[in-house]
Structure 1
């Protein structure tokens, strides 16, 4: 089996390759592509793979754009950190949709569907999963943190930005204080409302209300000024810049 991975975040791509080696050691990952443009170019120059693992949101847009340009006959397993694209995914030869971080058991179940006569049919279990996807997703609203001999609660709405330094995650609050948060940036990214918080880079997650001026930076990057923090500059990579601008414009 020849498998094409379309994923713009290297840790997620590496995770998928590792899981595939464990679950389908005979399979060949023919390429790992990071954008719509790269994928369209690759597909025009190579035979269609037997299976595609495709992230929904790429640096230059939604991966559905690839499929809308030219239908792809092979089955597709969509991976995403967002659940609002589930129904749309099934319109594009989708075998399954998996939320990140992709779990080994879920990927195995999706791979087992490939090649079956019901791979592209909404059976009862798939339908139930799809309906569950459209239940309102609950995002984190507060943190319970140790304080003196007890605990205190910090509201997410009071956080301007999160940042990581020396593997310690801190929340910068509207009152100027900072609190250590016992979660990784990856865990926070999954738990925060993506309409309010954006993972700017490996070090920063920004609240939309904290963003001041946005400047063009060299080599297609963006520089973000954080309100009431003139000494702080947050850099958005060239790859993430289009997604960041779309997020601000939504």
Structure 2
């Protein structure tokens, strides 16, 4: 059994290091499953499979890593085997695909129980052994998001953030229309996130306005401030709050 999600960061291109988000918690996925916090073991080692889980069929693994979990998601800190042809080529594909690529992981020794959320029957995953993760082309995962690759030029990172925000706004409009047709509004949690996003964008505008008035060059402190704002924009799954409210 595999589940797929997008979202990764290239931590070091020279070392072949990648950080990939492969599971989000307390969210109903397209299989009707809800992975609970604690279901995936923090600190567990994981294998990076050849593209499309091909290591299940005899292809050599292309890397390895360690799982890191928070209250909301599971990530894998991965290192590709750049001294092998398969590892080097897979890493280059992952890096070049960027947000177009996705990640999938295998589920073993699953412990689950049936339940219900807002009238929808779901399967709560209480414990999962994650043996491997794999880059894939297309998957059915929810909570899709883009983590900008570190090391990009400032303008390239800005393009990625703008694209992510536009995608989020489009999704927000769709959900608001659907909710309106049902006589419902956005949840308080989603509204708070929208306010937080608006506040970050307001801070960004204020920074540029200040510099325009002072006619000064952008300082390293300004760069750090912009990077912090960009991280704030993308630090959550852009869709996680909205997919739980009835799209």
Q: Which has the higher contact order (CA 8 A, sep 6+)?
A: 2
- Indicate the structure with greater helix content: 2
TM-score normalised by length of structure 2: 0.26
TM-score normalised by length of structure 1: 0.26
